[in-house]
């Protein structure tokens, strides 16, 4: 699977993807709809089993595939959801099986049909990779580091990539289209600068959130009446939270969360002490006598970061950038894999439209058009993630505008109402899972309930303080 074949004919047939994580794998999948050969270049060697790997430092941490993301994966890989079930991924109804302590108190529990299979990111990535390995048009180059882009004489068009293989050999891999899916550590800004282009403007919003996570074979008290539990941090004074998440093979991931550099410890006593300090005892009670099967893993690279490729006045032809290489989110919101899936669909649509408009196979204008379309896809999740991070006074990267503060107030009212209304709570979960846009909060029935709450004098968010035990 790691053998490299150099294509002799690049007229239309070859595409290259830099990076073999979720965004890169999904980009490769849609590229097979338009190119005869797709090569995925990954600096790691892929594990034989669904295990963490060095190139994904957050792979030990909890990852959530939202319902919209699961639907897209099923569209791209029919039968994948059932495969995950057969391997042991639990079915979770995100209202019936989800115990959430948030601004509205404990979320109501009822069946909604908003479901996913909860499992590790490692399992999802491994199953997608195994599916792609069955495609004759897909080739993997493992332990290969892309050291630069190949271009034409005027540097106006990308014509492939330069790769350093595991033995140190440098090879040139020609391609008609190249996609950078190499994540937060993407070299594209430096490559563009070296080719005479501007580097993209970068926006960073950092709430200085950190995780400490541990895997368990069993918890202190089972069976539990939930499959996912989330004690949500509450701005401005309760920066700590915790998650219990069921994954395949009857295992659990427990993640402790701290905002504003209130990072959870990674030693045994500190981890338990942090759990005990949370505003409700569920996490501590679940792990105090539990059976851990892993060390405690820390992760603190959680800033939201957006590179504005869509604003560049010049952009090389036959090139695109996807996933975290463009837009990386604070992972506490669980958006990353789903936004990567939406980006893959956007790439597919842009390619379809481009080839429908042109009788020949040249790709002039495709890259810039795709980056502009991708920026539209990223806008809503970006505003959702950064808007929530701006609730914390310790957040760096700007200050909330008066409009953002107004939206905070209105969303607070929606969350307060949703603690009592299954109708509003379901809409809240649908927005979180990208099944409805945030404008759904403005529908008349929700507006009426919010107005009634405020008119009755119950709009002060302090009314939920009774749901939170003082730390």
Of 66, 46, 41, give the one whose Cα is nearest residue 385.
Answer: 66
d(Cα 406, Cα 144) in Å, to the nearest integer? Answer: 49
How long, in residues, is the chain? 471
Position 78 scores a pLDDT of 98
Do residues 37 and 179 share a domain?
yes
pLDDT at 1: 36
275-278's contacts with Cβ under 8 Å and 24+ in sequence apart are 275/242, 277/240, 277/471, 278/231, 278/240, 278/241, 278/242, 278/471
- Report the predicted TM-score, pTM, of the whole model to 2 decimal places: 0.93
Query: From residue 120, how far is each of 93, 123, 222, 246, 251 by CA, in Å?
Result: 17, 5, 21, 9, 10
Which of 243, 269, 299 lies at the terminal end of a domain, its last residue? 299
Rg of the chain over all Cα atoms, to the nearest angstrom? 23
Q: Report the C-alpha gap between 297 and 58 in whole angstroms.
A: 9
The pair of three-digit structure tokens given for residue 469, joined into one six-digit string: 């035990």
Whether 134 and 196 map to the same domain: the answer is yes
- Is 327 found in the same domain as 291? no
- Do 143 and 253 have their domain in common? no
Q: Are residues 259 and 134 in the same domain?
A: no
Side-chain half-sphere exposure of 344, counting CA atoms within 13 A: 28
Asked whether residue 64 is assigned to any structural domain, the reply reads no
Judgement on whether residues 32 and 162 belong to the same structural domain of the protein: yes
In-domain check, residue 74:
no
Q: In the beta sheet, which residues pair with residue 307?
A: 202
Dihedral, CA atoms, 381, 386, 387, 392, nearest 10 degrees?
150
Give a yes or no: residue 392 inside a domain.
no
- Is 156 found in the same domain as 24? yes
**Of 350, 385, 420, the domain-final residue:** 385
Residue 405 neighbours by CB under 8 Å, 6+ apart: none
Query: CB within 8 A of 336, min separation 6: which ones?
Result: 22, 63, 324, 328, 329
Do residues 195 and 237 both lie within one domain? no
Owning domain of residue 137: 14-57+123-204+305-385
Q: Is the residue at 391 inside a domain?
A: no
Same domain, yes or no: 146 and 52:
yes
Q: Is the dihedral of CA 159, 351, 29, 339 positive or negative?
A: positive
Q: What is the largest CA-CA distance in the chain?
A: 73
Which residue, chain included where needed, has tokens 């047939």? 13
- What are the structure tokens assigned to 425, written together? 């709570």
Residue with tokens 């993407």: 186
Q: Tell me whether residue 1 is in a domain.
A: no
Domain termination site, one of 328, 354, 385: 385
Give a yes or no: residue 9 inside a domain. no
Measured in degrees and rounded to the nearest 5, phi and psi for residue 399 equal -125, 150
48 and 141 part of one domain? yes
Q: Are 95 and 110 in contact (CB under 8 A)?
A: yes
Task: Please indicate, yes or no, whether residues 42 and 128 belong to a single structural domain of this protein.
Answer: yes
Write down the pLDDT at residue 373.
99
Which stretch of DSSP H or E encloses residue 254? strand 251-258
| pLDDT score of 393 | 95
Contacts (Cβ under 8 Å, ≥6 apart) of 297 = 60, 61, 211, 212, 213, 214, 266
Q: Specify the number of domains making up the chain.
A: 3
Cα–Cα distance measured from residue 52 to residue 68, given in angstroms and rounded to the nearest whole number: 24
Residues 227 and 344 in one domain: no
| Residue 390 forms part of a structural domain | no
- Residue-by-residue pLDDT tens, the chain, 471 positions: 333 444 343 445 899 999 999 999 999 999 999 999 999 999 999 998 888 887 787 888 999 999 999 999 999 999 999 999 999 999 999 999 999 999 999 999 999 999 999 999 999 999 999 999 999 999 999 999 999 999 999 999 999 999 999 999 999 999 999 999 999 999 999 999 999 999 999 999 999 999 999 999 999 988 899 999 999 999 999 999 999 999 999 999 999 999 999 999 999 999 999 999 999 999 999 999 999 999 999 999 999 999 999 999 999 999 999 999 999 999 999 999 999 999 999 999 999 999 988 766 789 999 999 999 999 999 999 999 999 999 999 999 998 889 999 999 999 999 999 999 999 999 999 999 999 999 999 999 999 999 998 998 766 544 333 333 333
């Amino acid at each position: 699977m790691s053998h490299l074949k150099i294509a002799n004919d690049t007229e239309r047939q070859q595409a290259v993807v830099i990076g073999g994580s979720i965004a890169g794998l999904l980009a490769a999948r849609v590229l097979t709809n338009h190119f005869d050969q797709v090569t995925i270049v990954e600096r790691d060697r892929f594990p034989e089993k669904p295990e963490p790997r060095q190139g994904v430092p957050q792979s030990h941490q909890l990852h959530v595939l939202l319902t919209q993301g699961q639907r897209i994966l099923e569209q791209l890989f029919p039968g994948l959801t059932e495969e995950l079930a057969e391997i042991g991924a639990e079915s979770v109804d995100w209202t019936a099986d989800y115990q959430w302590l948030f601004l509205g108190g404990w979320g109501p529990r009822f069946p909604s049909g908003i479901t996913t299979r909860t499992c590790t990111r490692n399992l999802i990535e491994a199953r997608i990779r195994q599916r792609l390995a069955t495609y004759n048009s897909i080739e993997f180059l493992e332990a290969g580091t892309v050291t630069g882009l190949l271009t034409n004489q005027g540097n106006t068009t990308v014509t492939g990539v330069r790769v350093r293989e595991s033995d140190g050999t440098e090879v040139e891999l020609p391609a008609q289209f190249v996609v950078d899916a190499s994540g937060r550590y993407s070299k594209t800004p430096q490559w563009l600068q070296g080719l005479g282009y501007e580097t993209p403007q970068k926006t960073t919003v950092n709430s200085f959130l950190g995780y400490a996570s541990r895997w368990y074979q069993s918890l202190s008290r089972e069976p539990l009446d939930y499959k996912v539990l989330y004690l949500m941090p509450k701005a401005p004074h309760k920066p700590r939270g915790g998650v219990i998440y069921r994954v395949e093979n009857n295992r659990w991931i427990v993640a402790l969360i701290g905002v504003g550099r209130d990072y959870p410890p990674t030693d045994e006593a500190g981890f338990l002490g942090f759990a005990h300090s949370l505003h409700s005892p569920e996490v501590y009670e679940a792990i105090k006598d539990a059976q851990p099967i892993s060390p405690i893993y820390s992760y603190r690279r959680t800033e939201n970061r957006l590179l504005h490729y869509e604003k560049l006045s010049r952009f090389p032809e036959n090139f695109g950038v996807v996933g975290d290489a463009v837009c990386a989110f604070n992972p506490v919101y669980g958006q990353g894999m789903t936004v990567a899936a939406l980006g893959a669909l956007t790439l597919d649509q842009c390619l379809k439209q481009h080839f429908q408009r042109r009788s020949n196979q040249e790709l002039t204008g495709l890259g810039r058009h795709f980056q502009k379309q991708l920026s539209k896809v990223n806008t809503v999740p970006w505003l959702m993630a950064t808007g929530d991070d701006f609730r914390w006074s310790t957040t760096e990267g700007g200050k909330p505008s008066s409009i953002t503060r107004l939206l905070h107030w209105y969303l607070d009212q929606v969350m307060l109402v949703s603690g009592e209304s299954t109708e509003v709570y379901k809409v809240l979960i649908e927005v979180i899972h990208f099944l409805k846009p945030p404008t759904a909060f403005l529908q008349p029935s929700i507006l009426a309930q919010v107005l009634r709450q405020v008119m009755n004098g119950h709009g002060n968010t302090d009314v939920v303080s009774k749901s939170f035990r003082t730390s």
